Amino acid sequence: MQENMQNKYLLEMINISKQFPGVKALDKVTLRVRPGTVHALVGENGAGKSTLMKCLFGIYHPDEGEIYLDGRKVKFLNARQALDNGVSMVHQELNLVRQRNIMDNIWLGRYPQSGLFIDEKRMYEETKKIFDELDIDLDPREKVSKLSVSQMQMIEIAKAVSYNSKIIVMDEPTSSLTEKEVAHLFKIIKALKQKGVGIIYISHKMDEILEISDDVTVMRDGKWIDTKPASELDIDTIIKMMVGRDLTHRFPEKDNKIGDVILRVSNLTAKRQPSIKDVSFELRRGEILGVAGLVGSKRTDIVEALFGLREIEKGDIEVNGKSIKISNPRDAIKNGFALVTEERRSTGIFGMLDIKFNSTIANINSYCKFGVVDDKRCQKDTQWVIDSMRVKTPSQKTAIGTLSGGNQQKVIIGRWLLTEPDILMLDEPTRGIDVGAKYEIYQLIIDLAKKGKAIIMISSEMPELLGVTDRIMVMSNGYLAGIVETKKTNQEEIMRLAAKYL
């Protein structure tokens, strides 16, 4: 009986094709998922993974191909139909309503009713029951805006589970999770597998894919490349299938020259607590300074304070030996700072607007003369962003939200380079980006350092920090735990420092 179940497919997507103006996003792609298994879907950004899942979820309608769920042919016209039929998705970019509480977010659009009114008591109990099953220690009445990114990710997973789904798509589910939280997620996945749920797992983290997956499907340039049992694969084989070539070096060669001190920060303390306390460091021209630390270490608070997004209680900031005051982002930009934020979707891009708008918005005042925007200059600078950042796009008029994560990130970096900053701050610059695009971002960062830009780079990925930076500043619970030279340190020393003030 078990063998028959394993041979039967829970989901079949057969010869799915999807065309957009100027781009064939999917070309006869087939995906088959067995019940009670994790099926990894991998490929570089732009390979077509997200488009395929949007076709499954009713967000896009395939130009050709068929979808079968539990042996029944389906054609979902919208996401609601997919959810009602047992297909749910945990998106990489968080889709929660931050001003509402947790249980509102989980049951939005399908509140339990008692007569004409919402049954708050039942909603609380149902949420608590799911949290108990998933071992999530949060109050369902807590406001979402007070949660960390990793806690929000767990809420998205709980919401998907609440639909009693047969198929759950998880798009980069661990991108914001600590090692402990990843272990917790894998425990949840194993429990879902035992219930016969099929999980489509999209990730760029190869070690995770090999640990959690039963089957792996590789896509490249909108085409199906291969499907194999995870047990028959290793990291190098997967990467070769993804990029169509051997990727012998994960990180580019570093040849940036470090110059004089450009930024000196002394005893920086943010007003809103808990936050950073008495943080002091120097940054030199041509230097890539990494920032490491566990989730909750307040790494992001440093760059937010320097960019005027977080009020400073005390401390001194010097740029080129001159003391400056930063009260808002306008002050920061005027003093040569630029910030690429962690969450592209909510704080980085204007998803519905085109690449031209997204490229030029941070520098818009420079294009205005007598209240009129110089569109020719905007077009010229946007083309510079597309060419120099190697952005894959049909045109400047393409909505940025339709681009892959890696291409969106390149546009954002290009946007800030148009402001001609001296100090570029990057918060998780390769989050949710594939190995090939990551390499391009690393090369871009090193090239900028070679041109004399000073770079602060926050990352949760230890190999990335060790492969790209010159020094690493380690944060722990809002305090600076230490600064180490990248060439002379290792993961163990960084982890010891990260745990120093816990």
Predicted confidence (pLDDT) per residue in 58-83, tens digit: 999 999 999 999 999 999 999 889 98
How far apart, in Å, are the Cα atoms of 6 and each of 37, 211, 259, 342?
9, 20, 61, 40
389-398: average pLDDT? 87
Q: Are 151 and 138 in contact (CB under 8 A)?
A: yes
**Residue written as tokens 């339990």?**
112
Beta strand segments in 142-185, E: 167-171
How far apart, in Å, are the Cα atoms of 442 and each of 150, 227, 316, 449, 465?
25, 30, 31, 11, 10
Q: For 138, how many CA atoms within 13 A lie in the half-sphere containing its CB?
A: 23
Predicted confidence (pLDDT) per residue in 345-371, tens digit: 667 788 788 999 999 988 888 888 877
Q: Are 69 and 88 in contact (CB under 8 A)?
A: no
The number of residues in the chain equals 502
Of 45, 237, 172, residue with least CA distance to 460: 172
Q: Are 62 and 26 in contact (CB under 8 A)?
A: yes
Assess whether pLDDT exceeds 80 at residue 179: no
Q: Which pLDDT band holds residue 4 (cuts at 50, 70, 90)?
A: very low
Of 416, 421, 201, 419, residue with least CA distance to 429: 416
**For residues 435 and 443, what is the distance between their CA atoms, to the nearest angstrom?**
12
How many angstroms from the chain centroid is the CA of residue 163?
24
Residue 167 CB coordination number (10 Å): 24
For the chain, give the mean pLDDT.
Answer: 87
Predicted confidence (pLDDT) per residue in 86-122, tens digit: 999 887 666 788 888 999 988 887 888 888 888 888 8
Tokens of 113: 């009713």
Looking at residue 37, its pLDDT comes to 96
Predicted confidence (pLDDT) per residue in 448-482, tens digit: 999 999 999 999 888 889 999 999 999 999 999 99
State residue 290 phi and psi, 5-degree precision.
Answer: -80, 150
State residue 16 phi and psi, 5-degree precision.
Answer: -80, 125
Q: Are 456 and 464 in contact (CB under 8 A)?
A: no
Identify the structural domains of the chain with CATH numbers, from first to last. Answer: 2-243 (3.40.50.300), 249-336+421-502 (3.40.50.300), 348-420 (no CATH)
**For residues 396 and 416, what is the distance between their CA atoms, to the nearest angstrom?**
17
Of 45, 42, 437, residue with least CA distance to 233: 42
